[in-house]
Amino acid sequence: MLDIKNLNVYYGKTHVVRDLSLKVNDGEIVCIVGESGCGKSTALKSVLMLDKNASVTGGSIIFNGKDITKLNASQIRKVRGSKIAMVFQNAVLSMDPTKTIGSLFCETVRAHNKKAQKADCLKKAEDIMKKLRLWETERIFTSYPFELSGGMCQRIAIAAAMMNTPQLILADEPTSALDVTAQAQVIRLLKQVNKNFNTSMLIVTHNMGVAANLTDKTAVMYAGRIMETGSTDDIINNPSHPYTKALINAVPEMNGKIPEAIEGLPPEFNDDTAGCPFAPRCSMSKDLCYKKLPQKHILSESHAVYCNYCYI
């Protein structure tokens, strides 16, 4: 359904996303994982052309047969919120503090259907919220975003994203600002949305637990490039790329395992090295890694890795 091919994004002269290719099929949940500042969020925002400072210079984003990069502003606006909806990291800040949640729901519908009546919108919102097991709809509709807790707002943002029954939801770190209980609830809710409405999702996160428990496919990003893609089971249980392995080892677990830090720091975005961007921090790197950019190596039908050595 969504097919990103060789996407390149620049902020001014800074090359942030490099040759990103990613596919999202019908009813699938795909996630992008990686450290802060590796270009995950930029890649996600460029799907809807949300960032004015970012310029998409190469590649294509095909959604239902149409190339989004070639649409003009008013055409994109028709796609935003109706076909593709977005859930942001900080839900409280993404809502207008001068409007109640009820009018937020109405506005979401009216942006694409001017004739919609308020009562119908609220009825629809109530149905969706009931399906997503959000009770107390009356109280929620009359509240302002700042009167509700962060976890509640995040769940409402997901319900609001569902108002126009989109085919695809983009979520940018939907659980990073929440504590563990609220996080588990939001993940449960996203799963329900996927099951009840067959909505596809593209999620950006740095939490490997979220990736492991929610998604079907995972792409690991580092310094603007994809390092490894595959089904989530493959990535978590059978990682190939040294970076994926290091990332999984850095996650603390309940059994008292000591998380292992990755030595060194991610490279600057303007660093145009010829070789693999991870080579300076990699425990396996050899001379070739500094000279040659790794090509895609297909390990199995659903699993591919960009590394010079680890596929051997």
Between 189 and 226, name the residue whose CB sits nearer to other proteins: 189
Q: How far is the CB of 251 from other proteins (least distance, A)?
A: 5
Q: How far is the CB of 263 from other proteins (least distance, A)?
A: 9
The residue written with tokens 């450290």 in the block is 35
Stretch that binds other proteins, among 118-126, 140-148, 183-191, 196-204 (CB under 8 A): 183-191
Q: How far is the CB of 56 from other proteins (least distance, A)?
A: 26
Interaction between residue 207 and other proteins (CB under 8 A):
yes
Q: What is the biggest distance separating any 2 CA atoms in the chain, rounded to whole angstroms? A: 67
Cβ atoms of 189 and 87 within 8 Å: the answer is no
Interaction between residue 248 and other proteins (CB under 8 A):
yes
Binder of other proteins out of 61, 246, 276, 279 (CB under 8 A)? 246
Interaction between residue 187 and other proteins (CB under 8 A):
yes
Interaction between residue 237 and other proteins (CB under 8 A):
yes
Binder of other proteins out of 73, 180, 274, 312 (CB under 8 A)? 180
Stretch that binds other proteins, among 22-30, 117-125, 243-251, 302-310 (CB under 8 A): 243-251
Q: How many residues bind other proteins (CB under 8 A)?
A: 40
Q: How far is the CB of 114 from other proteins (least distance, A)?
A: 38
Stretch that binds other proteins, among 71-79, 115-123, 152-160, 205-213 (CB under 8 A): 205-213
The residue written with tokens 């740095």 in the block is 206
Q: Rounded to whole angstroms, how far apart are CA atoms 65 and 123?
A: 33
Binder of other proteins out of 24, 201, 262, 310 (CB under 8 A)? 262
Which residues share a beta bridge with 63?
A: 2, 66
For β-strands 217-222 and 29-33, DSSP reports them as: parallel
Interaction between residue 120 and other proteins (CB under 8 A):
no
Q: Rounded to whole angstroms, how far apart are CA atoms 230 and 298?
A: 10
Interaction between residue 213 and other proteins (CB under 8 A):
yes
Binder of other proteins out of 20, 236, 276, 279 (CB under 8 A)? 236
Q: Rounded to whole angstroms, how far apart are CA atoms 192 and 171?
A: 15
Alpha-helical segments (H) within the chain: 40-47, 73-79, 91-94, 101-110, 118-131, 137-142, 150-161, 180-197, 208-214, 232-237, 242-249, 287-291
List b or e across 268-304, with b for residues whose CB sees 16 or more CB atoms inside 10 angstroms. ebeeeeebbbbbbbbeebeeebeeeebeebeeeeebb
Residues 32-51 that bind other proteins (CB under 8 A): 35-37
Q: How far is the CB of 244 from other proteins (least distance, A)?
A: 12
Q: What is the DSSP code (8-state) at residue 28?
A: -
Q: How far is the CB of 236 from other proteins (least distance, A)?
A: 6
* Helix 150-161 × helix 180-197 angle, to 10°: 10
Residues 268-297 that bind other proteins (CB under 8 A): none
Q: Rounded to whole angstroms, how far apart are CA atoms 7 and 26?
A: 21
User: What does the binding site for other proteins look like in residue numbers (CB under 8 A)?
Assistant: 35-37, 149-150, 179-185, 187-188, 191, 206-210, 212-213, 236-237, 246-248, 250-262
